[in-house]
Structure 1
């Protein structure tokens, strides 16, 4: 996601007029990103490692007064420095270094991305634990009020858990098989289309200019095609993962109702949030689609004319682009599938642990669960659980 990209321009202390030069540099970077289909929402920050080191070493004398004033004027114009702030010389150097802005940008992305995901994951796991305690409390309360109730029929719990687990794993594997098959087809179509256009461009170049002018071809089209295919794959992968996790959560909730006769009111099992799809950073690696030097001229001259060997031209181009396509269909796709399977397995392990604990502790012996729930303060425990659930709901997006 372009929002996650931070571009840092260093050594602004060497600029003679940062107030005017930095906006020009920023505009130039934006234009370059646009021309090369780069991350349009990337944040561009400006820094001075020299100022940062000077501040950390308490060397306020290493920066000339003229440079310090020029950077201060720029920082005030940018709104990153309060002219009314009573900063010491060292604090001023630290602010001018741009490092506080860099740290803030990184922290913001952690809080919005991986940090928020971790918070969601912990909150939902805690909600499921609280729901398990709620179910256990309902079982205990019923048996405290009616000692003549028959024992719970929990003999089939291991088989029930095994079925839910096997069904969930099979559904995830089948879902990803279809998603990856579709992804591979998209990659093949995109790659084939690009090879046809690139080969046509090369042949046209040779027709018009011969072997004396170097042929070059912009690979941006291939990057766009592959990125689009990967984005579709990511959406499909998350859709399949979410469907399996939600269905599995529903199966566990049904098991609670069936075995423990849990009330529907205020009870439910939270499905984990599907893991994030990693960015295809390899799409940024260099693709050298040019024929430089004399070797290739000799190569096609020996073949009685280049039009008869268009396939061999295509093979040369394909060899240059194959590693990127192979990595997307291989390691990148497998990483997404492995992440989904890990998320599912953690959910299955969590629910097996909670349900097994309830089955062990909530058999027809109320006195056996005193360590988990104080029978003399059931109302207080219920209130605490309700408050806990309300708090966790605020955190679990």
Structure 2
């Protein structure tokens, strides 16, 4: 009865990988940093003028698709047409709010891009839609065709030939640098003007375990980095690492690094975000030199700055009294005289987070489920052992099955009740937030009738912050309530087994399920109608429009966006959470009901003899009982060791 569950656990282990995403500004050096992290110089094209425009996932030590090391997926016809015909979601919202001219302008820009793309690809355009290209190998020159924006004025240029229609790129390599299978995603900049790519980038963050936010040292948190704050707001603190790249381009890195660190943490504080996240300062250029010995290609000015920074840090090298500081703190940064590229600190921090926040918890979860499979198998074999004649009473088993089925129905109803209650609170809170935002902006517009309307600018980030706070409360409290229901369910199923098996040593222990977490609210991270529409309103003001007309348009914009966000939260977050939770609960009860039904079969003489024959008769059963007992002891020891390693890693971090 445990075969399918064992196979499922094996598949889960084999498919497990740590997902690391690099996001940030366009031309912040994400691709060069990705190459350094991977340990392969110039694998991804990073020194070409056109920048990366496609989410590129490098799968390290994972299962490869048959006969391919590179897979490029293209947009579907529907995805392409939705942008061209309606200008995307923003174009639709513009129409609803009465900004017909702006919507037409957006559609015209997208149509121009479409015409350039179709001219470049010719008859191949329609053939590519919804398809993919696969290759046994790849090179930087090949990748430029798929993942880098080309010269828009030169349709014959090889760079970016397919980039406009490429949705994702997946590359597969092996490396001894990574002990755990890892997927590193190099993403387009969050200030990429192509909003469909923004959506693809944000969708890639849905299953991200660690997010490295790459900033340029010369442009940390400029106005285009609002998108970064949206991402930070949606992630848990332990998932976040900041990497300030290109410190080799600063005039005086030793003096400017503390200033930049303080500036970034100040921005985070102003935005009510965690300020104790790790911020690593470094240079992908220096990292490549340190990793690959590329001294000959190093920029002399860059190398001079490296020497100067190393000299300034030597005063700390012999300071034995300095207390150890966590990686990414400013105290740690200023006290280190080695790894000034920041690359190895970044690798070490990713490795530590991979173990502590992902690897150990995943291994603990699979170990717990394996222990339950072993204990249920022991119970089944124990009942099959004719030498002991301890088979359970059929009436008792049938009653236990009915009891577990009733618990199943009750648990599903309880979960649905909690979800509906939490959903009502969340959607009401979102509606109230938009309503309060509108009231505040209307008050700001009408408070001083003498002030010029051009001084008004809606505070959209405050709105988004409050929306994120509402969702964060929902996503934190709901799993706790669902978890309490699942703990009670495990206890009731345990009681049913105890009555049937009448086993004083309780060889079979039912482990409680772990509740899933609601998905990240990607709709709150991406560019929304109000983000762009507010600039339309600003452009409108110099035309000396009437205040009543402006307020009417603002009302339409806010109402349209609120409806859009409510619908996406419902479909992409709440409904997905409900479906996954139902699947988890159904699987749990189906396994245990199947186990109890197997015990019923052992009451029938023919079925009992068949089971004995399948299991290897009496001696075989005893051998399997002994083997399973040894496996159980090993799993228990493994669980203890995982717990100890987890605590040790936590203290070290």
TM range (shorter): 0.7 to 0.9
Matched with 2:168 is none
SS at match of 1:7: strand
Stretch deviating more after TM superposition (114-123 or 230-239): 114-123
Q: Match for 1:6 among 237, 241, 245?
A: 241
Matched, 1:295 2:540: yes
Matched, 1:105 2:349: yes
CA distance in 2, matches of 1:156, 1:394: 39
Matched with 1:86 is none
In structure 2, the CA distance between the partners of 1:354 and 1:79, relative to structure 1 (3 Å rule), is: same
TM-score by length of 1: 0.78
The CA deviation at 1:23 is 1.1
Alpha-carbon deviations, 1:58-87, whole Å to 9, x = none? 31233335233134346765657976xxxx
Larger Rg: 1
Conserved? CA contact 2:383–2:389, under 8 Å: no
The CA deviation at 1:269 is 0.9
Q: Match for 1:200 among 432, 443, 451?
A: 443
Stretch deviating more after TM superposition (155-164 or 237-246): 155-164
Q: Match for 1:214 among 455, 469, 487?
A: 455
If each structure's strand is expressed as a fraction of its own residues, which one has the higher value?
2
CA distance in 2, matches of 1:377, 1:343: 30
In structure 2, the CA distance between the partners of 1:2 and 1:280, relative to structure 1 (3 Å rule), is: farther
Q: Match for 2:310 among 60, 72, 89?
A: 72
SS at match of 1:9: strand
In structure 1, stretches of 5+ residues that fail to align are 84-91
CA distance in 2, matches of 1:373, 1:185: 61
CA distance in 2, matches of 1:223, 1:343: 32
Conserved? CA contact 1:241–1:340, under 8 Å: no
The CA deviation at 1:391 is 3.7
Matched with 2:479 is 238
TM-score by length of 2: 0.50
The CA deviation at 1:378 is 5.8
The CA deviation at 1:237 is 1.8
SS at match of 1:145: coil
Matched, 1:26 2:264: no
Conserved? CA contact 2:400–2:497, under 8 Å: no
Q: Match for 2:270 among 35, 52, 57?
A: 35
Matched, 1:184 2:427: yes
Matched with 1:385 is 632
Q: Where do 1:1-397 residues align within 5 Å?
A: 1-63=236-298, 64=300, 65-73=303-311, 95-136=339-380, 138-140=382-384, 144-146=387-389, 152-153=394-395, 154=397, 162-205=405-448, 207-211=449-453, 213-263=454-504, 265=506, 267-280=508-521, 282-286=523-527, 287=531, 289=534, 292-293=537-538, 295-296=540-541, 298=543, 300-301=545-546, 306=547, 310-319=551-560, 323-352=564-593, 354-360=595-601, 365=608, 367-368=612-613, 369-370=615-616, 374-375=621-622, 382=629, 385-386=632-633, 388-392=635-639, 395=642
Conserved? CA contact 1:190–1:226, under 8 Å: yes
Alpha-carbon deviations, 1:308-360, whole Å to 9, x = none? 87454322344456544543344122333333233323423443454455555
In structure 2, the CA distance between the partners of 1:162 and 1:360, relative to structure 1 (3 Å rule), is: same
Conserved? CA contact 2:383–2:599, under 8 Å: no
Bigger RCO (CA 8 Å, 6+ sep): 1
The CA deviation at 1:242 is 0.7
Conserved? CA contact 1:161–1:352, under 8 Å: yes
Stretch deviating more after TM superposition (74-83 or 253-262): 74-83
In structure 2, the CA distance between the partners of 1:395 and 1:55, relative to structure 1 (3 Å rule), is: closer
Stretch deviating more after TM superposition (56-65 or 44-53): 56-65
In structure 2, the CA distance between the partners of 1:67 and 1:362, relative to structure 1 (3 Å rule), is: farther
Conserved? CA contact 1:46–1:98, under 8 Å: yes
Conserved? CA contact 2:414–2:485, under 8 Å: yes
In structure 2, the CA distance between the partners of 1:296 and 1:132, relative to structure 1 (3 Å rule), is: same
Stretch deviating more after TM superposition (170-179 or 321-330): 321-330
Stretch deviating more after TM superposition (191-200 or 73-82): 73-82
Matched with 1:88 is none
Length, aligned pairs only:
379
Conserved? CA contact 1:138–1:262, under 8 Å: no
In structure 2, stretches of 5+ residues that fail to align are 1-235, 317-330, 647-653
CA distance in 2, matches of 1:108, 1:363: 54
The CA deviation at 1:267 is 4.4
The CA deviation at 1:200 is 1.2
CA RMSD of aligned residues (A): 3.7
CA distance in 2, matches of 1:394, 1:349: 31
In structure 2, the CA distance between the partners of 1:389 and 1:59, relative to structure 1 (3 Å rule), is: closer
